[in-house]
Amino acid sequence: MLEEKVFNTIQKYELIENGNTIIIGVSGGPDSMALLNLLSSFKKKKQIEMDLVVAHINHGIRKEAEEETKYVEDFCKKKGIPCFVKREKVEKLAKQQKMGTEEAGRKLRYEFFEEVANKFKNVKIATAHNANDNSETVLMNLIRGSGLTGLKGIEAKRNHYIRPLIECTRDEIEEYCKQENLEPKYDKSNQENIYTRNKIRNILLPLLEKEFNPNIVTCLNRMSQIVKEENEYIQKQVEKVYEQICIQQKDNIELDLKKFNAQDKVIKNRLVLYTINKLLGTSQNIEMVHITDIINLCQNNIGNKYLIPNKKVKILVNKGKIFFEKRNEAENNLP
């Protein structure tokens, strides 16, 4: 039974604590409606003491969008669950922000989730990512040449975001929706093979399933779990080394150059990312080519040489130290 499987996932990964307010991202599709119905059932049966709140985005792209919004609002009203709705013209927003429609939609969703979350205390945000989504992510990252971090896929828990359906397949979820008479809404654009994810979902995974391994989704999810565990071990070693070679950690960070150069390449790669993340709170847009350049700079040990892998950080080697410095706005505006 899906209900038992999801409850076990929540327990195993400690996704929800008694007293949490759970903000559920609900589109009206099978995955999010199943998640909403399941958590509502756990609350009703007093299996978990929690408050539920729904956050729904109307992207204003498809003509069915208003119908989907009304469906979610009516369902929430019937269940007595507060429902926050945001309407936005995502295609227009994407053009204004000079990004793809898919990227703009994702950015909008997560900003809205945080906006709703800020209205409550003791919050977790639940999204309806499932085992198929995870296998698609792993394949997509593999195709892009990702390292271990990408191959670990979608985690069950990251910060205050939780994914209670992450061990459930799409078939199991759709069967549950039928059993519960949920009548979810289907986004027809998911069948359009425009985006990379849709191509992987509709073309590549079915081909792998048919021609190579009927259990490909299970295998990819198993692999991502192994990678996650090994990635966590490596990260712990990186944190230990960082403590040993960090000379200063204030506005800027200084590392001991000689001790850095003595590390294995795998640890050095991770140290660069870890240090930048420590400094900026993110290592986004730092790619392998940047890391390689930084390691080469340190290895060659030419004084006063520096690199700017993105607009926010400058890495300088001088007097036996590696300096990771934040760049100010004036520097960011320089060519």
317 lies in the same domain as 278: yes
**Is 236 contained in some domain?**
no
**Is 238 contained in some domain?**
no
151 lies in the same domain as 56: yes
Concatenated DSSP letters for 34-79? HHHHHHHHHHHTTSS-EEEEEEEEE-S-STTHHHHHHHHHHHHHHH
**Is 243 contained in some domain?**
no
The SS3 of residue 89 is coil
91 lies in the same domain as 7: yes
261 lies in the same domain as 118: no
**Is 306 contained in some domain?**
yes
First vs last Cα of the chain: how many Å apart?
59
Can you list the pairs that 195-204 forms with residues at least 24 positions away whose Cβ atoms lie under 8 Å? 195/102, 196/140, 196/143, 197/136, 197/140, 200/136, 200/139, 200/140, 200/143, 201/132, 201/136, 204/139
CA 133 – CA 128 distance, rounded (Å)? 9
**What is the rounded average pLDDT for all residues in the chain?**
91
218 lies in the same domain as 268: no
CA 149 – CA 316 distance, rounded (Å)? 26
Whole domain around residue 307: which residue ranges?
A: 250-332
207 lies in the same domain as 126: yes
- The C-alpha angle 242, 243, 246, rounded to 5 degrees, equals 70
- The pLDDT of residue 108: 87
189-205: average pLDDT: 86
Question: pLDDT tens digit string along 7-65?
Answer: 999 999 999 999 999 999 999 999 999 999 999 999 999 999 999 999 999 877 777 88
Contact 278, 249 (CB under 8 A): yes
- The pLDDT of residue 324: 95
CA 22 – CA 51 distance, rounded (Å)? 6
310 lies in the same domain as 255: yes
Q: How many domains does the chain have?
A: 2
CATH code, domain carrying 215: 3.40.50.620
159 lies in the same domain as 293: no
CA 135 – CA 206 distance, rounded (Å)? 12
pLDDT category of residue 329 using cuts at 50, 70 and 90: low
318 lies in the same domain as 208: no
CATH code, domain carrying 278: 3.30.465.60
Contact 134, 166 (CB under 8 A): yes
Question: pLDDT tens digit string along 245-293?
Answer: 999 888 899 999 999 999 999 999 999 999 999 999 888 778 888 999 9
Output 328 or 52, whichever has higher pLDDT: 52
